[in-house]
Amino acid sequence: MLKYQGQTVVIKYGGNAMTDDAIKKSVLSDILLLKTLGINVVLVHGGGPAINELLEKYGKESKFINGLRYTDEETAELALTALSGMVNKSLVRDIQRLGGEAIGISGIDGRMIEVEQLSEDLGFVGNITKINTEIIERIAKTAAIPVIATAGVDAAGEIYNVNADTAASRIAGELQAERFILLSDVRGLYSNFPDEASFLSETTLSEIDQLVAAGKISGGMIPKLEAIKYAMQNGLNEAVLLDGRMKNSLIFELFTSEGFGTLIKKDNLDLTKYKQFMS
């Protein structure tokens, strides 16, 4: 039997990793190959740069607080247009051009991503209250890859902007994914970014807490790591930060024993606690 056959692999494709068309095509071919090998691939995407561009066209400024976009009502509409209209459909079309099948949906479809307001300061930014996975599971069982844009909807039907890392982590947790891979514009996690020598091929949640406390994490990496931590405390076993700008990084990561990006694991067992049983 092939490795991962029948298992679920959730891939989060960040907007900053999608800027080169040739590499994007190569990443999508790899994703298609995984699907052909019988893996239940679920593709969750971001699109921060596409939202920035659209806001600029409308003369609106992009403002971030701790890596999350301040979202007024108009920004929420434009974010939905950029993510669900532009980025999502271009990924679906590209997969189809490569000979595969894909169905694009947003968190609003089937009320997949239910939210409430995260904080007044951020405006229409959603805090996920529930993920309804049924629609994803139904698509994943077919020949098509579910391609998910991460808008959210609240109880009153109001639309919210949801960070794609947060949504992808929650989806991976709910689906009890075997693997959760975040493709970004960086090789992985560094203990002293961007010093190449400080690249971490493996790390744990408590080591990440120490890096955060030491001020070694900034920008979009903050919500990314918070999201991974939350999902790992709620069922997800591990996550991998991977370079989405490198051809075939997904294949190297999944099919070599060393992996390629930064593997994030729960904490190592503190063996001193079990000393009495070890004499």
Ligand X SMILES: Nc1ncnc2c1ncn2[C@@H]1O[C@H](COP(=O)(O)OP(=O)(O)O)[C@@H](O)[C@H]1O
Torsion region of 85: left, alpha or beta (phi above 0 gives left; psi -120 to 50 gives alpha): alpha
Q: How far apart are CA 39 and CA 33, in angstroms?
A: 9
221 binds, among ligand X2W, ligand X, none (CB under 5 to 8 A by kind): ligand X
Total number of residues binding ligand X2W (CB under 6 A)?
16
Total number of residues binding ligand X (CB under 6 A)?
20
Contacting residues for 240 by C-beta, under 8 A, at least 6 apart:
179, 180, 181, 182, 188, 253, 259, 261, 262, 263, 264
Q: How far apart are CA 232 and CA 250, in angstroms?
A: 21
Structure tokens at 126: 């959603």
Nearest to ligand X2W of 127, 204 (CB atom): 127
Residue 42 in 3-state DSSP? Answer: strand
185 binds, among ligand X, ligand X2W, none (CB under 5 to 8 A by kind): ligand X
Binding site for substrate: which residues? 47-48, 69, 161
CB of 244 to ligand X, least distance (A): 7
Looking at residue 244, its amino acid is G
- 240 φ, ψ (degrees, to nearest 5): -130, 130
Is residue 115 within the footprint of ligand X (CB under 6 A)? no
Torsion region of 110: left, alpha or beta (phi above 0 gives left; psi -120 to 50 gives alpha): left
Q: How far apart are CA 117 and CA 237, in angstroms?
A: 28
Is residue 216 within the footprint of ligand X (CB under 6 A)? yes
Which of the residues 48 through 77 are near ligand X (CB under 6 A)? 48
* Per-residue interface string for the shown chain with ligand X2W, residues 214-253, x marking contact by CB under 6 A: ------x---------------------------------
Neighbours of 195 (CB within 10 A): 9
Is residue 218 within the footprint of ligand X (CB under 6 A)? yes
Q: In terms of DSSP bridges, do strands 189-190 and 40-45 run parallel, antiparallel, or are they unpaired?
A: unpaired
CA angle 240, 194, 208 (to 5 degrees): 45
Q: How far apart are CA 277 and CA 77, in angstroms?
A: 59
Nearest to ligand X2W of 66, 206 (CB atom): 66
Which of the residues 83 through 122 are near ligand X2W (CB under 6 A)? none
Quick one: which of 27, 136, 217, 239 contacts ligand X (CB under 6 A)?
Answer: 217
Quick one: which of 71, 150, 161, 184 contacts ligand X (CB under 6 A)?
Answer: 184
Q: How far apart are CA 75 and CA 73, in angstroms?
A: 5
Which of the residues 141 through 180 are near ligand X2W (CB under 6 A)? 161, 163-165
CB of 82 to ligand X2W, least distance (A): 8
CB of 13 to ligand X2W, least distance (A): 8
Nearest to ligand X of 60, 216 (CB atom): 216
190 binds, among ligand X, ligand X2W, none (CB under 5 to 8 A by kind): ligand X
Interacting residues with ligand X (CB under 6 A): 14-17, 46, 48, 165, 184-186, 189-190, 193, 216-221, 224
Interacting residues with ligand X2W (CB under 6 A): 14-16, 46-48, 51, 68-69, 79, 125, 161, 163-165, 220
